[in-house]
Chains A and B, each alone.
Chain A
Amino acid sequence: MTDLFEMGSVGPYIWGAYGVTAVALVLLAVFSLRANKSAAEMVDRMRPKRRKKSDKEQA
Chain B
Amino acid sequence: MHKFANPAQFNRLADRILPWAKAILAATLLYGLYLALFDSPPDRQQGESVRIMYVHVPAAWMAMFCYMVVAGASFTEIVWRHPLALLAGKAAAPIGATFTALALITGALWGKPTWGTYWQWDGRMTSVLVLFFLYLGYMAIWRSMDEEEKAGRAASILALVGVINIPIIKFSVEWWNTLHQPASVFRLDGPTIDGNMLWPLFTMAIAFKAYFVIVFLYRMKLEINRRKISVLRMSQVNG
Contact = CB atoms under 8 A, between A and B. Distances in A.
Interface of A: 7-8, 10-11, 13-14, 16-18, 20-21, 24-25, 28-29, 32-33, 35-36, 39-40, 42-43, 46-47
A13 B52 contact: yes
A21 B51 CA distance: 13
Contacts of B166: none
A33 B225 CA distance: 12
Contacts, number: 82
Interface residues of B, number: 35
Contacts of A17: 52, 55-56, 105-106, 109-110
A13 B110 contact: yes
Given A8-B47, A10-B47, A25-B98, 18 more contacts: A13-B49, A13-B52, A13-B109, A13-B112, A14-B48, A17-B55, A17-B109, A21-B59, A24-B102, A28-B95, A28-B98, A28-B215, A36-B218, A36-B225, A39-B222, A39-B226, A40-B221, A46-B236
Contact of A47 (B215, B222, B232): B232
B53 to A, nearest CB: 10
B55 A21 contact: yes
Interface of B: 37, 42, 47-49, 51-52, 55-56, 59, 94-95, 98, 101-102, 105-106, 109-110, 112-113, 211, 214-215, 218-219, 221-222, 225-226, 228-229, 232-233, 236
Main secondary structure of the interface of A (DSSP, over half): helix
Contact of A42 (B42, B95, B101, B225): B225
Contacts of A43: 225, 228-229, 232
